[in-house]
Structure 1
Amino acid sequence: MKRRDFLKLSGFAPIGIMGYGWMGHGWMGRRHSTNSNILSLKPKKSPLPIPKLLDPIIENGIKKFHLNIQESHHTFFENINTKTYGIESTYLGPTLLLRQGESVEIEYKNNLPEATTMHGHGMHVPAIMDGGVHQVINPNQCWSAKYTVNQPASTCWYHPHLMGKTAEQVYMGLAGMIIVEDEESKNLNIPQTYGVDDIPVVLQDKKFDSSGQIDYSPTRMEIKRGYKANTFLVNGAIEPYFNAKTGWLRLRVLNGANARVFTISFGLFKSFYQIATDNSFLEQPIKLNSLTLSPGERAEIVVYVDRDLVLQDRNTSKSLLYIFKDESIGLVDSLPTQLTNLERLNIHDAKRVRRFVLNMRRGHMAINSKIMNKNRIDERVPVNDVEIWEIINPMHMVHNFHIHATHFEIIERNGSARNVLPSERGFKDTIYMPPRSTAKVLVKMKDYVDEVHPYMYHCHILEHEDDGMMGQFTVVSNS
């Protein structure tokens, strides 16, 4: 039986070792009422949607992007129009390609019936261009992030950051990727043809009601645990497929879920290589059989396509993306042994230690027993000082920790540098914090001093962030 005929008959039944196929993923007998009555809904069988590369306008040497944030409808299920939010699209947004050293202006027009913001997650920018809780875009208004790209090659993303509404707006579809290139990345012998062998992969999970509409209605317990669902999406599609050429395939994987932690794998016996973390290349490719990403984290991986593959979530044994080997030969058939040389910070240069305890206060999520208050500055960080930030999760639940404005190094987990995984040894902006764990990261705020406008640090489980697990800091002059 031919592969495509197999798909038609099986409704995306598994072809990998660990996959269980769509019907095996729990459509029958789910506990959640919002999912228990949608047996008649059939997921749309489709190729992997590839977000378009948005074409900029060049004016006076400035690369300008214009993005419309809008209400829309998207087809997750056959013959069902689901209400969504999108950015220049029915769901999610286009990919923005930026290059180190160039001047950019990203203008967002809010066509929603409610306010929003748009944060460049992972972008090293001035505080007033960060798109945090203070840069609100009201309905029918525009806001622009203007800056010079000042960071190495990386995979970043943009998403709302509105106080109390971030989780719902991301859940409805507001997110997109930002790819930063530099001279070093362009000269590496790695897959670099967007949409062909260099593919964005946005992982999410979603609840739908009996009519196929998105259901975002967390209970108080689901706010504490994070809002999770049993329907998994890749770039807004349910179990899509991608036709790949024989050779190395690069996947820029973003955990764009509200709360779910994904552990990605191609099965027990298929290895792959991680080449980048949130904000930088790793110095050498790291061979892996699985990789865990918490919400907001990114990783660039390459896998050799010599047969059909299934990208899976090992935590749930669900299939995420089917990769079918094409007969043609790919553009890259070998990988470099050295990717970059990272200019690391020196722990002995650290001027101070700051401690951030992820806990609760009066029933709400908090940091250092303080619930987020956008009128309060929690920390003042001197520019160019090396600091150790100690992050403590004393709770019996998963958290993580994201810092705006900077790219940090993980130097210790649970009291030892040996517990830092090789796959974590690039620069990052988000760190996974399992239950009852500790970590230390090395931080240095650079370039942008603003003693009035703050950046944020917070848990990137979006329900936790909205509930109060967030704080603010300003970068102050060092004098």
Structure 2
Amino acid sequence: MTHIDYKRRQFLQYAALGTLATTLPGFALAESRGLNQTPNNLFKADVEIALTAQTADIPILPGAHTHVFKYHGKLLKGPQTALKELPGYLGPILNFEQGQKVRIYFYNQLPEPCVTHWHGMHVPQVMDGHPMYAIYRGEQYVYEFEVKNPTGTNWYHSHTHELTATQVYQGLAGLITISDEAERKLDLPSGEFDIPLVIQDRSFTNGNQLRYILNRHQRMRGFLGDTILVNGQEISAIPVKTRAYRMRILNGSNSRIYKLGWEDGTPMIAIGTDGGLLEKPETLPYIMLAPAERVELWVDFSGRKPGSDLMLQNLAYQGSASHRGGGMGGGMHQDMGRMDMMDGASAQNEVISIAKFHIIEQISDSPKLPVELVPMRRLTTQDISNPDKTVPIAIGMRHMAFQLNGKTFDMQGHTELEKIPVNSVQKIKIYHDNRGMGGGMRGGRGGMGMMMAMPHPIHLHGQQFQILSRTQINQGNVYDTIKDGFINSGWKDTALVMPGEEIEIIKPFKDFTGLFLYHCHNLEHEDMGMMRNFFVS
């Protein structure tokens, strides 16, 4: 791994903060180097939580405990339901209500810098977890924000520059759920019938310690582990009853893209995406879920026999040109969630078992799937503030470095193209810029071109967006294996852009000014600099 001079970075960060104080509207520089170290007495919090990033030894696999990074949470104020611990290495689930004012005291007890991003939440710049605000061991950062999001499933995770991949991999992540009045009127499955599923792939040593070793090929592709964990642990089976469940699924992996489907071919019923519930349920044969994406499913076990099982799988697909021509790791082990390896990981075109649901009890009482969920105003080109302008996000590579709009990450940097007026609605086009990638790119052949023709999950901080269109320039058998798994009708904060694909989105930039990131959520790509700022002013 690259050596990082933390003290030099810290000096540069705070020097830059002094500049930002004079250039960013509404940016208030703390009198000392400790920005947001103390709470704002004028902010009357409904919920207060102490959240500490620390090391821990957690039982994950049979045998020795695993040394991890872990968020430890403690509820200081608010309803007891606001914080729910999970048994694995993940942080507690934070359960918020729309309109609540939340204060989180974040403490760093790690031996390296850390900052926490509230992924999917609509919050001010200084509360968003930009890497410029990373704090050191023994320091505190106070996050204060009002929950503006509607009902849905978001998450929080480390966002430390050049350390995001390793810190999330070691455990720094957790779910956020949001409830509102519209959701309560639907009477969706709740309590024990509301199941979170955080899916992550990890690799372990013989002594049960996390293994994270990257060669050049793995850095360019992203880390793929050989063991599937659910909710931060290896689970043999999840007990369920013969009734309907709400399942909140997060792809918390560093780079693995899942093609989720049921083993017996049962269609999947989606009721929500990244940004909340859909207008109405959608039925799909499978669902593509890239790193950071969420989907909420309605799963009805009615009619199944007690003692039977239903397996959630990652189905085979060929969506990445770098994986064409066959698999990389042979077959599956008999144990659920374990994959054979050749270069340290399974390819993404193998069937992988994720979670087994075991029916334990027959009951007759079950809610019915609503015909309508929540009203959603579809944004159109008529809502765009400047119809003649399309903001580009060009995915490219030069000098063996992934880039966005021809540049890599600059902590406070932005270009004219990245300046966005506050309280505007923008059309954004995300596409692959093939210039400089080598002659093999167009034909899908050749080492450099083949490697770079790969999917990228692009995440935009700030408000959620809607997808206007998907256009696949190079239609063919590869795209056919994944094209029916996209949900394009809901609010999103992450969009999976396949090789040869162009996506147009429409995104509001309301309420808050400052620097808001956009980046690839393949975390190895992010740490290599595939990240940029929008400057909203």
Fold-level match, TM-score > 0.5?
yes
Q: What SS is found at the alignment partner of 2:48?
A: strand
Structure 1: which amino acid aligns with 2:525? H
- Equivalent residue letter for 2:465: F
Segments of 5+ residues of structure 2 without an aligned counterpart are: 1-42, 73-86, 317-349, 435-451, 474-482
Contact 1:72–1:90 (CA under 8 A) maintained in structure 2: no
C-alpha RMSD of the superposition:
1.8
Q: 1:335-385 CA deviation, whole Å, 9 max, x = no partner?
A: 110001102222123212011111112211111120111031231111222
Aligned residue for 2:424? Answer: 385
Specify the SS of the correspondent of 1:66.
strand
Seen in structure 2, the aligned counterparts of structure 1 residues 189 and 62 have a Cα distance that, compared at 3 Å, is closer
- Taking structure 1 as the reference length, the TM-score comes to 0.82
Measured after TM superposition, the shift of residue 288 of structure 1 is 2.2
| Alignment of structure 1 residues 171-320 onto 2, 5 Å | 171-193=169-191, 196-306=192-302, 307=304, 308-315=309-316, 316-320=350-354
Is the Cα–Cα contact under 8 Å of residues 189 and 336 in structure 1 kept in the other structure? Answer: no
CA distance in 1, matches of 2:264, 2:465: 32
**Tell me, what secondary structure is at the counterpart of 1:269?**
coil
2:68 and 2:234 map into 1 onto residues whose CA distance is 15
Change (3 A) 1:61 1:471: closer
Indicate which of 392, 397, 405 corresponds to 2:454.
Answer: 397
d(CA) in 2 for partners of 1:163, 1:60 = 31
Q: Which amino acid aligns with 1:82?
A: T
2:47 aligned residue:
63
Identity fraction in percent: 34
Deviations 1:314-349, CA, capped at 9 Å, x for gaps: 133221111111325376431110001102222123
Contact (CA 8 Å) 2:422, 2:511: kept in 1 or not?
yes
State yes or no: 1:80 paired with 2:144.
Answer: no
Contact 2:285 2:485 in 1 (8 A): no
Q: Which residue in 1 is equivalent to 2:392? A: 355
- The residue aligned with 2:113 is 115
Q: Decide whether the 8 Å contact of 1:406 with 1:445 is kept in 2.
A: yes
1:201 Cα deviation from its structure 2 partner:
0.4
Conservation of the 8 A alpha-carbon contact between 2:264 and 2:310: no
Gap regions ≥5 residues in structure 1: 1-58
Contact persistence 1:297–1:430 (CA under 8 A): yes
Q: Shift in Å at residue 443 of structure 1?
A: 1.1
| C-alpha separation in 1, matches of 2:527 and 2:187 | 42
Does the Cα contact within 8 Å between 1:238 and 1:320 map onto a contact in 2? no
Q: Aligned runs of 1:430-449 on 2, under 5 Å?
A: 430-449=494-513
In the TM superposition, what is the alpha-carbon distance from 1:171 to its structure 2 partner? 0.4
State the one-letter code of the partner of 1:311. Answer: L
Matched to 1:380, the amino acid is K
2:150 corresponds to:
152
| Partner Cα separation in structure 1 for residue 136 and residue 277 of structure 2 | 37
Structure 2 Cα separation of the partners of residues 330 and 443 of structure 1 = 44
SS in 2 for 1:186: helix
What CA distance in whole angstroms lies between the structure 1 residues aligned with 2:276 and 2:141? Answer: 28
Which residue of the other structure, out of 84, 102, 107, is the alignment partner of 1:104? 102
Cα offset for 1:77?
Answer: 2.0
State the alpha-carbon separation in 2 of the partners of residues 413 and 467 from structure 1: 27
Q: Judge conservation of contact 1:401–1:430 (CA < 8 Å) in 2.
A: yes
Tell me the equivalent position of 2:33: none
Offset, 1:421:
6.8
User: SS of the counterpart of 1:190?
Assistant: coil
Q: Write out the 4+ residue segments of structure 1 that deviate beyond 6 Å after TM superposition.
A: 419-422
* Pick aligned residue for 2:465 from 401, 408, 411: 408
The CA deviation string for residues 45-68 of structure 1, in whole angstroms up to 9 with x for no partner, is xxxxxxxxxxxxxx9552111112
Amino acid at match of 1:129: M
More displaced stretch, 292-301 vs 207-216: 207-216
* CA–CA separation in structure 2 for the residues paired with 1:197 and 1:462: 32
Paired residue total: 411
* Alpha-carbon distance in structure 2 between the residues aligned to 1:190 and 1:407: 23
In 2 relative to 1, CA 142–328 (structure 1 residues): closer, same or farther, beyond 3 Å?
farther
The equivalent residue for 2:165 is 167
> Hey, what's the Cα distance between the residues in 2 that align with 1:236 and 1:97?
18
Counterpart contact for 1:102–1:148, Cα < 8 Å: yes
Deviation at 1:289, TM superposition (A): 2.7
Give 1:429's aligned amino acid: D
Cα gap change, 1:140 to 1:330, in 2 (>3 Å): farther
Please state how far the C-alpha of 1:265 moved relative to its aligned partner.
1.2
| Number of the residue aligned with 1:14 | none
Structure with bigger helix share is 2
Q: Which residue type is aligned with residue 382 of structure 1?
A: P
Q: Deviations over 1:280-299 (max 9, x none)?
A: 21111111231110000000
Q: Secondary structure of the residue that 1:177 maps to in structure 2?
A: strand
The 2-side partners of 1:328 and 1:211 are apart by 41
Q: Distance in 2 between matches of 1:109 and 1:87?
A: 10
Partners of 1:121 and 1:331 in 2: how far apart? 36
